[in-house]
Amino acid sequence: MPSSLQCIDCAQQYPLMRVIYACERCGGLLDVAHDFDKSAKPITRSLFDERLGALDPPYSSGVWRFKEIVYPDIEDAQIVSRGEGNTNLYPLPRVAAYAGVDTLLLKHEGENPTGSFKDRGMTSGVTHARRLGMQRVACASTGNTSASMASYAAMAGMQGIIFLQNTAIALGKLAQGIAYGGTCLQINADFDRNMALVRQVAERLGIYVLNSINPFRLEGQKTILFEALQQMRWQAPDWIVVPGGNLGNSSAFGKALLEMHQLGLIDRLPRLAIVQAEGANPLYRHYAGGFRDFQPVKAETIATAIKIGDPVNLQKAIRALEWTGGVVEQVSDQQIMDAKALIDGIGIGCEPASACSVAGARKLVERGIIKRGDTVLGVLTGHVLKDPQATIGYHADELPGITPTLRNPMLSAEADLEQIVELLSPHPKPLPQNEGGA
């Protein structure tokens, strides 16, 4: 078997089929470690490039196209997939100008089957659950993990059990969990408490946990960067900017970059910039304090996806920062919502947490850390339809503490022809003084 589970702290190894989420010796987080030297096929750019345009599974999926560096020894028939990935990489000059750089590309992970990047981790996680023979899977979630898990569990014929905070979930996400047949448990507890609860309940009842503490999730999420770099013809950008909540993506990105570099798929390592909301910034504080004495925070932000105060993947994210010379930034809810309005208004759209990438890039440019000439790859993590309350609240100017500087106010009229024509007629600008008349 070319892969095993390995502790990131003490390197203790465990067989791939052990149901285990932390090292039994030291409590450290686990990686799925691959022995790429034992790969059935040589791992080269052309191996993956030749699969582009594949019409049939597994290689038609933007996750399983990279099977040799995600889950090498899985049989194709065992894979639970919805053809995830294959998301657009948008070069966006107007967003670049807003951030203050010449070149900014946004990888839109909201274009996945359930509208977020979680599908990339769920196809690998649920595939492994099926291989283990699991009947029941569970997660705590701010909404996207649960939507994705409910969908993939339904596809695999498993029960998906969802621990949700009874407030602070975006409506699109809640609707998905219910619609896909998930067992939705609303609990009077925030995400961090629910995360602890789901692990205890899963242990008692023999349920498989599909949060990003599960290392198989992160293997799938690595493909965000495999695919983005393939779209960039394997030319690494200077920076990769990503929102940070439970820090699964940040962790997956560190591993993806290191592996791509080791395998010679990219020639140099980009720097990682992890962006948190000011009200949910435990990594930012830890980074600013020189990584001494980690303190969880009580999280509060309009970007409910990342309303997390005690991220489970902290140590892996710190490792990713070390590997890539990375930085951590924080942005206010105002900055998040303005960046979102910009991304939405150019016709692309995203949910609030996603806009941290652009708001964070802008702040890092202002602070002189990202240079104007640097190439920046940002990740949009979720679809604009996920959180209609936040979008409508912004444009209606009904969000407490937020001034909608890029407001698109709704117009209203009676069913009256003249009134509507008047409303839609271009109104000439008043002429400047002394320039009018004959």
Residue 397 CB, shortest distance to ligand F0G, in Å, is: 24
Instruction: Report the half-sphere exposure of 359 (CA within 13 A, side-chain side).
Output: 28
Size, binding site for ligand F0G by CB under 6 A: 23
Residue 351 CB, shortest distance to ligand F0G, in Å, is: 5
Per CB under 6 A, 382 contacts ligand F0G = yes
What is the rounded CA–CA span in Å between residue 198 and residue 281? 23
Residue 142 CB, shortest distance to ligand F0G, in Å, is: 4
Q: Which amino acid is at 214?
A: N
Q: Concatenated DSSP letters for 298-366? A: ----S-GGG--SS-TTHHHHHHHHHHHT-EEEEE-HHHHHHHHHHHHHTT----GGGGHHHHHHHHHHH
Scan residues 69-128 and list those touching ligand F0G (CB under 6 A). 116, 118
**Residue with token string 């996207």:** 144
Per CB under 6 A, 194 contacts ligand F0G = no
**Residue with token string 């690494």:** 236
Scan residues 245-274 and list those touching ligand F0G (CB under 6 A). 245-250
Contact 61, 123 (CB under 8 A): yes
Binding segment for ligand F0G among 44-52, 238-246, 259-267, 331-339 (CB under 6 A)?
238-246
Site string for ligand F0G, 197-216 (x = CB under 6 A): ---------------x----
SS3 185: strand
Per CB under 6 A, 355 contacts ligand F0G = no
Per CB under 6 A, 305 contacts ligand F0G = yes
Which of residues 3, 87, 127, 144 is near ligand F0G by CB under 6 A? 144
Scan residues 6-65 and list those touching ligand F0G (CB under 6 A). none
Binding segment for ligand F0G among 91-99, 143-151, 260-268, 430-438 (CB under 6 A)?
143-151
107 DSSP β-pair partners: 89, 379
Q: Which is nearer to ligand F0G, 6 or 357 (CB)?
A: 357
What is the rounded CA–CA span in Å between residue 322 and residue 20? 26
Per CB under 6 A, 244 contacts ligand F0G = yes
Distances (CA, A) of 258 to 253, 255, 261, 379, 434: 8, 5, 5, 18, 66
In the complex, the residues that contact ligand F0G under the rule CB under 6 A are: 116, 118, 141-145, 212, 243-250, 305-306, 351, 353-354, 381-382
